[in-house]
Amino acid sequence: MSAVPPFVNEPYTDFTKPEAQAAAAVSLAKARAELGKDYDLLIGGEWIKTSDKLTSTNPSNVSEVVGTFSKASAELATKAIESAHEYFTEWSQTDPVYRAELAMKVAAIIRERKMDFNAWLVLEAGKTWPEAEPEVAEAVDFCEYYARLMLKLAKPDPLVQMPGEKGQLVYLPLGAGIVIPPWNFPFAILAGMAIAALVAGNTVVIKPSSETPAIAAKFIDVLIEAGFPLKAFSFCPGSGNVIGDLLVEHPKTRFVSFTGSKEVGLRINELAAKPRKGQIWIKRVVAEMGGKDAIVVDRETNVDKAVEGVFVSAFGYQGQKCSACSRAIVDAAIYDEFLEKLKARVATITQGPSEKFENYMGAVVSASAKKSILEYIEIGKKEGRLLIGGGPAEGNGHYIQPTVLADIEPKHRVFQEEIFGPVLAVTKAKDFDEAIAFANDTEYGLTGAVYTDNPAKIEKAKKEFFVGNLYINRKCTGAMVGAHPFGGFNMSGTDSKAGGPDYLLQFLQPKSIAERIA
């Protein structure tokens, strides 16, 4: 392999430019021409149809069917993990350089067709174009970054050499694993989890979210085109209660890579911790489980900039990011001013089908998500004061008005519980110390931000704001691969730091070798 250039983040397309919008329209038409297509399972290198089907629809227009998917039975899921385990012996012996080359080919294919993948995120995940673009770029970044990490780990730093011995440390892949991506970043996070495992020499069974299986199917096509062997991965849509627990519990499963809710993540962790008959290892769980992220706004700051940072963090992609700001904790000295300016900013939001460039917000992902979010809004109206929004929005989709709830107390449910929608709770704090204490008063610990111009307060936040990703004087969303290794504390997950220099170690095991020499 020739010299690999240093890692550089993939640049974003500017959708204010007419040429970008024209290219997007072409890709949207291309994707729409494929809507309603039937998709098969891929297990053990074979494409398989089943009579049990899963249907995916466009959250912005529920009359539009994105695709129909064969669902795996318990028997087929068992075949998938056992086939992956069997093929691991061969795949694990491949040259790490070769695996890195394949990962870079995946990146090149995605980069070349970025707008096409954007279109699928618009249609199936309900993302606006400016929200879809960073996700596809992040998928490119993950592939490029993890390929470089594997090349580095294939030649680790030398050990201390004992007299009369030759010592070395090598990194070995783990085995067959389960990859369970979320619906809110169904392309980037899937690409990151799957490529990390595959480039490290593992085989994987991919169980996509039932909300976004078409996007996962498009990623499977890229793996095949790049040259990854069909037996190295399986595409296994299915019901969690039919195949989810089975895949986690199977004795041949070596690891589970999961991104999703706290409840499901904790269940996976619990099931994986119990050894099964025939199991000879402790299963490894790599989990990212969401958050209740806060932005602290100090009196010593530019209020307009803080309002914009909270606004973007709270309502980008309808608040459906695990990193989204769902709590704004504001110094009492500027609380009223902040609320007034925030209400005016939220009032400017345009909402409708995410494919329309004029819309800042689209629909939430599903009817069940909409129902849950609206129930939380009603709770919040009783706990605090409705500033703006507060109900469903018009349209043939799962639309909810951007909602701000003021005067929320730290023990209120909308302050403590993850809502995962366009709902922001605003809380008054008497000073910066109390604001940090309020921010830490949660079982989560994923992202957080602080707006202040006071250097001493910035240092305090660095030391005492207990989150995996802390941002100073900027929004709390938009982590960049390589620059902001991503993962949280407490109930936000295992802090495995996706897009960071240690992430690939989650999918490898070190072996120390000492050879006596003459």
In tens, the pLDDT along 37-72 reads: 999 999 999 999 999 999 999 999 999 999 999 999
Instruction: Tell me: pLDDT of 1 over 80.
Output: no
Q: What is the pLDDT of residues 494-503, one digit of tens each?
A: 988 999 999 9
> Alpha-carbon distance 484 to 471, whole Å?
10
Distance of CA 479 to the CA centre of its chain: 11
Q: Return the pLDDT at 495.
A: 81
pLDDT for 231-246, tens place per residue? 999 999 999 999 999 9
Distance, in Å, from the CA atom of 46 to the CA atom of 383, rounded to the nearest integer, reads 54
Across 180-202, average pLDDT: 98
- Strand locations in 236-331, DSSP E? 253-259, 284-288, 293-297, 325-331
Query: What are residue 503's phi and psi, to 5 degrees?
Result: -60, -40
Tens digit of each residue's pLDDT (9 = 90 or more) over 249-274: 999 999 999 999 999 999 999 999 99
User: How many residues in total does the chain contain?
Assistant: 518
Question: Residue 3: pLDDT above 90?
Answer: no
Q: What percent of the chain is modeled with pLDDT above 70?
A: 100
Residue 141 has pLDDT above 80, yes or no: yes
Q: Indicate the residue type of 336.
A: D
Q: Could you write out the three-class secondary structure of 116-147?
A: HHHHHHHHHHCCCHHHHHHHHHHHHHHHHHHH
Cα separation, 328 vs 307, in Å, equals: 10
What is the predicted pLDDT for the residue at 312?
98
The neighbouring-strand residues paired with 46 are 43
Q: How confident is the model at residue 107 (pLDDT cuts 50, 70, 90)?
A: very high
- For residue 458, pLDDT over 90 is answered with yes
CA–CA distance, 260 with 266 (Å, rounded to integer): 10
Mean pLDDT, rounded, for 176-199: 98
Task: Give burial (CB, 10 Å; 0-12/13-18/19+) of 506.
Answer: buried
Residue range 63-105, pLDDT digits in tens: 999 999 999 999 999 999 999 999 999 999 999 999 999 999 9
- Give the pLDDT band of residue 2 (cuts 50, 70, 90): confident
Averaged pLDDT for residues 305-331: 98
Burial class of residue 358, CB neighbours in 10 A (0-12, 13-18, 19+): exposed
- Give the Cα-Cα-Cα angle 473, 482, 210 (nearest 5 degrees): 95
CB 384 within 8 Å of CB 425? yes
- 369-423 confidence digits (pLDDT tens): 999 999 999 999 999 999 999 999 999 999 999 999 999 999 999 999 999 999 9
- The whole-angstrom separation of Cα 413 and Cα 431 is 23
Distance CA 346, CA 359 (A): 13
Ordered by where they begin, the domains of the chain are: 43-156+170-261+270-289+496-510 (3.40.605.10), 293-480 (3.40.309.10)
Q: What is the dihedral of CA 282, 287, 291, 295, to 10 degrees?
A: 110
- Tokens, residue 358: 């004029």
Report the b/e string of 227-245 with b at 16+ CB within 10 A: ebbbbbbbbbbbebeebbe
β-bridge mates for residue 38, sequence order? 68
What is the pLDDT, as a whole number, of residue 518?
Answer: 80
- What mean pLDDT is predicted for residues 160-182? 97
Q: Work out the pLDDT band at 117, boundaries 50, 70, 90.
A: very high
List the catalytic residues.
Answer: 288, 322
Residue 511 banded pLDDT, cuts 50, 70, 90: very high
273's enclosing H/E stretch is helix 262-273
Residues in Cβ contact with 76 at an 8 Å cutoff, skipping those fewer than 6 apart: 41, 43, 48, 50, 236, 238, 243
* Contact in structure between 330 and 428 (CB atoms under 8 Å): yes
Helix, strand, or coil (residue 153): helix
Angle at alpha carbon of residue 268, lines to 132 and 211, rounded to 5°: 30
Q: What does the alpha-carbon distance between residue 432 and residue 457 come to, in Å, rounded to a whole number?
A: 8
Tokens of 196: 């990390």
